[in-house]
Amino acid sequence: MKCLFFAIMALTSQGFACSEDEPFAQLLMTAHDITKMNAVSMTTDIAKFCQVNGVRDAEGSIFMQLGNPSRLNDDELLITSAAWANSLVASHDYRTATFLNSFFHTEKQKLHLSALEEQIEFTKISDKLNSNSGQIFDSDKREISQLIDKNMHKDADQASWFSIAPVKSILGCVDLKLNPLDHISCVKNLNQIQKIAKPVEGVTLLPVWREAINNPIYMKVFKSVAIKVMDLIKNDKVPTSRLFDDLKSEFLKTTKDAKTADQMAWNTMGILSSGGANAYLRPWMIGHSLPEMSELLNILSNGAMLLDRKAATKGFLYTFPKEVNNICDYGKNYHFWMTAYLAHQAVEGTTTITGAAAAAFSADKGYQYLKDGSGRDPTLPFTSSSLSTYNNNIRLDVTMSAAGAWYGATSVSGGKALNQDQVNGGFRLTFEGVQAVPLRTPEEMKGFSGSLWQSATLYSDWKKIINPDASFFYFKTQIGQ
């Protein structure tokens, strides 16, 4: 099939080279109706697709915030937060610079370091890591625990979907058309999720943070795994295990109890996913800095992202579980893990597997639809083309979230596996079902995020544009649920 110029422009606001040798992102559109899009065909080269349409996608939202009509240059990329920088360019150089920036609190790190320069910087981190006490002072524990307790009684941040109580009836369990038993389970779990995951002062999973700060076992394990991550980075080695398994193994050594170790590893992934590459900043956002913990979390998030680049050469990603063989390295593994964590917590409460998965997935859909701020603008799906880079990024997010929902919900039995072809199939189905809808103007979308009525009436259009549920039900059948 020929790759039409206007199809390319619809696929990405920046455009990219397209040929018969690169069928990973071809649009099946006609010259007479460029607004009617039937499907996007992707090959198994999902890694390349993610880099073109996912990794670079974050730039689109930053352009709009800065009013910058051109692509970000190297300097501009590096002044963004770690989470944004990691999702902008999936390369060793950028992720190294991001890691060093965040660890040493510098405004701008030199790009394209030589091998010797990298070794010098990584050695500095290892030396600092060795001097890390791996402990939090009792006085610090008391102070930040009081702040967390206070925040847990506050209302959710207004920029989040959690601030709109009726939203779950619009976006949640009814939307997925579940059977009666699964529907009851979903509603129960979604109510619970709104309690434990509501963001306050930009921080979510406050009860989990409280536990990790007060139980010294967490810091001990954080340090052990951080040392392993840094050893792999310094010695330029490809990891042979996965981050989740490394955490479980270290927790088991300390607790001597498999169930406890498993839950603590899950809690750690919840903490990391609550802030992604910026998780290390969360104690400060709560109101009290914990430098020892922040250093370790930085390595477990930003350092681990460097290992993803190494592992990708062998066909897997270090930060994903071995049961889910994903190679879409677009810098946002936290959408997988947050949904997986919420589904895991739900299914532990003797609920149905489908109900747990549906509730966790619905929470992420609510986030994707209504999140405002921190690089998000809920009006953009309606004011940009169906296959804009901004919308493509949401599609990658919801596909990863769907995979996480089922992995977490089946975790009581070890987590059902999804191989690479199945994960890629989820991406394909998400894109194939996309429908074009008439674009709205920014003026028409004014007040959208604060209007429950407008949010409700436009949700059906958002579902046509993003097609969020296709991968959820596809993965359901693939794991035999």
Q: What is the tens place of the pLDDT at every residue in 175-198?
A: 888 999 998 898 888 888 888 888
pLDDT at 243 over 90: yes
* Residue appearing with tokens 């599609």: 395
Q: Residues of the chain with pLDDT > 90: what percent?
A: 44
pLDDT of residue 72: 43
Express as a percent the part of the chain with pLDDT over 70.
76
DSSP H or E run through 40: strand 40-41
Residue 412 DSSP label = G
* 323 contacts: CB under 8 Å, gap ≥ 6: 407, 414, 415, 416, 417, 418
| Residues 6+ positions from 235 with CB-CB distance below 8 Å | none
CA distances from 448 to 383, 384, 467 (A): 12, 15, 20
CA dihedral 208, 85, 343, 160 (to 10 degrees): 80
How far CA 141 is from CA of 88, 161, 227, 254, 279, in Å, comes to 35, 30, 24, 21, 18
pTM of the model: 0.85
User: Is residue 66 very low, low, confident or very high in pLDDT (cuts 50, 70, 90)?
Assistant: very low
- Res. 169 pLDDT band, cuts 50 70 90: very low
Taking CA atoms, 159 is separated from 59, 188, 199, 259, in Å, by 21, 24, 9, 36
Q: What is the mean pLDDT of residues 343-359?
A: 88
Q: Which amino acid does the sequence have at 221?
A: V
Which pLDDT value is given to residue 248? 98
Lowest mean pLDDT among 5-14, 43-52, 144-153, 404-413: 5-14
- Does residue 435 surpass a pLDDT of 50? yes
Query: What is the average pLDDT score of the chain?
Result: 79
Task: Note the helical H segments in 113-257.
Answer: 115-130, 138-152, 167-171, 180-196, 206-214, 216-234, 243-255
Are residues 101 and 251 in contact, defined by beta-carbon separation less than 8 angstroms?
A: no
Among 26-40, 48-62, 170-184, 321-335, the range scoring the smallest mean pLDDT is 26-40
Rounded average pLDDT over 293-313: 94
- Amino acid identity of residue 110, one-letter, is K
Determine the average pLDDT of the residues in 32-50: 45
Output the pLDDT for position 92.
83
Q: Which of 21-25, 105-109, 381-385, 448-452 has the lowest mean pLDDT?
A: 21-25
Q: How many CB atoms within 10 Å of residue 98?
A: 27
Q: How many CB atoms lie within 10 A of CB 107?
A: 8
What is the distance, to the nearest Å, from the Cα of residue 389 to the centroid of all Cα atoms in its chain? 16
Total residue count of the chain as it appears in this document: 481
For 117-132, the pLDDT digits (tens) are: 999 999 999 999 999 9
More confident residue, 82 or 150: 150
> What are the CA-CA distances from residue 229 to residues 118, 125, 317, 362 (Å)?
15, 11, 14, 33
The one-character DSSP state at 70 is: S
Section 67-93 average pLDDT: 52
Alpha helices in 153-215 (DSSP H): 167-171, 180-196, 206-214
- Which residue carries 């040929």 as its tokens? 19
Q: Name the 3-class secondary structure at 402.
A: helix
Instruction: Give yes or no for a contact between 456 and 164, defined as CB atoms under 8 angstroms apart.
Output: no
